[in-house]
């Protein structure tokens, strides 16, 4: 990032002049440029489920301190469903799978800042939420749970994705 001057306009205030970029500009570099241009290492992790090869995605990706875990379901590596019909057990399995994926790219559950839960029956939110709480109590990431019409496999009741930021310790 060059040392250009920056003009900042805040709502209800006059334009202010700065000689250094606002704090969020570094994040924009992360999101708007390739990892190479931002001088950040790009690490990926795959678990081998059939969908990863067909769709061409990674279970987890880390770019600098940012970690993104793809939508994760209660599937074994062969694609078979774990705990069919049991939303709580599927959620526990998924969160263990996410924990393992985070570890593969140097992150942990305590680094999670956002989780998104896609469920096929929102009336089962308490089962899913209880499992989520068992993993994230005290971490309390921003979280969303929404009902979707269906997931790729009709036996899947829950799909979860998370975003994490690894501190520079």
Tokens 């800042």 found at:
113
How far, in Å, CA of 51 to CA of 78, rounded? 10
Q: Is 8 left (phi over 0), alpha (psi -120 to 50) or beta?
A: beta
Residue 84, pLDDT score: 97
What average pLDDT does the chain have? Answer: 83
- Give 40-165's CATH code, choosing from 2.40.37.20, 3.40.47.10, 3.90.1150.180, 3.30.1330.40: 3.30.1330.40
| Domain parsing of the chain, residue ranges | 1-32, 40-165
H or E element, residue 72: strand 66-72
Predicted TM-score (pTM) of this structure: 0.77
- Does the pLDDT of residue 126 top 80, yes or no? yes
83-103: per-residue pLDDT in tens? 999 999 999 999 999 999 999
Question: Three-class SS string for 57-110?
Answer: CCCEEEECCEEEEEEECCECCCCCECCCCCHHHHHHHHHHHHHHHHHHCCCCHH
Q: How far is it, in rounded angstroms, from Cα 153 to Cα 73?
A: 9
Q: Is the pLDDT of residue 3 over 80?
A: no
């Amino acid at each position: 990032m060059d040392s250009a001057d920056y003009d900042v306009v805040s709502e209800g205030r006059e334009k202010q002049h700065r000689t250094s970029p606002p704090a969020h500009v570094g994040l924009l570099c992360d999101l708007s440029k390739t990892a190479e241009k931002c001088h950040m290492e790009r690490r990926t992790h795959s678990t081998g489920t059939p969908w990863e090869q067909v769709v061409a995605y990674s279970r987890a990706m880390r770019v600098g301190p940012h970690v993104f875990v793809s939508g994760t379901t209660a599937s074994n590596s062969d694609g078979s469903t774990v705990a069919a019909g049991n939303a709580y057990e599927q959620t526990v399995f998924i969160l263990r799978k996410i924990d393992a994926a985070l570890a593969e790219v140097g992150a942990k559950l305590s680094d999670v800042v956002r989780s998104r839960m896609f469920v096929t029956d929102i009336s089962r939110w308490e089962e899913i939420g209880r499992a989520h709480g068992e993993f994230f109590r005290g971490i309390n990431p921003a979280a969303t749970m929404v009902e979707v019409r269906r997931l790729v496999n009709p036996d899947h009741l829950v799909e979860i994705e998370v975003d994490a930021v690894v501190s520079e310790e």
